[in-house]
Amino acid sequence: MSLGHILLSSGRSIRLTELQMSSTYGGMLEGYPCKRINDLKISWLQRRAERAFPSTPVHLVPPSREYPDETAGAFGPVEVLPSVFCVGAFDSAALDPAMDGSALVVAWFQPLPEVPAGEDADLALRSIRWEELAQDYEL
């Protein structure tokens, strides 16, 4: 069973088979969102996805960054990432017809805790270069 389908810009249909979501700034006790903190969060998300799915390639979609009109603190300007970070396992038809399917784990940020689906999925997700990033598998 899939959690959703996404139609990529290339025309390929991919299925979301597993999804993990968390609050981007949940548990942040001190400081404020800034470039240094966000770079650490992005790096941590990439490593988390790689550890959770060690046998599948991982692709990190670079997040958007917003700079609200707030006074800069000791760590520089306020920089805000979308409020939810996600790690999703996707599969699709095989790249090589002799194989059973292809898979890719994607890490990304999004503004709301929603399951991405269809043509309404974020453009960054729909722009994934599946043929370059995914890996074929056999059952």
Q: What is the pLDDT of residues 75-106, one digit of tens each?
A: 899 999 999 999 999 999 998 999 999 999 99
Contact 133, 57 (CB under 8 A): yes
Burial class (CB in 10 A: 0-12, 13-18, 19+), 138: exposed
Q: How far is CA 19 from the centre of its chain?
A: 10
Q: Is the CB of residue 59 less than 8 Å from the CB of residue 8?
A: no
Q: Of 8, 13, 2, 7, which Cα lies nearest the Cα of 128?
A: 8
Note the pLDDT of residue 38.
Answer: 96
CB atoms within 10 A of CB 134: 25
Run of H or E residues at 50? helix 35-52
Consecutive 10-residue averages of pLDDT for the chain (139 residues) = 90 96 87 92 96 97 94 90 96 94 97 89 92 94
User: Tokens 């088979």 — which residue?
Assistant: 17
Question: Phi-psi category of 22—alpha, beta or left, where left has phi over 0 and alpha has psi -120 to 50?
Answer: beta
Residue 102, helix vs strand vs coil: strand
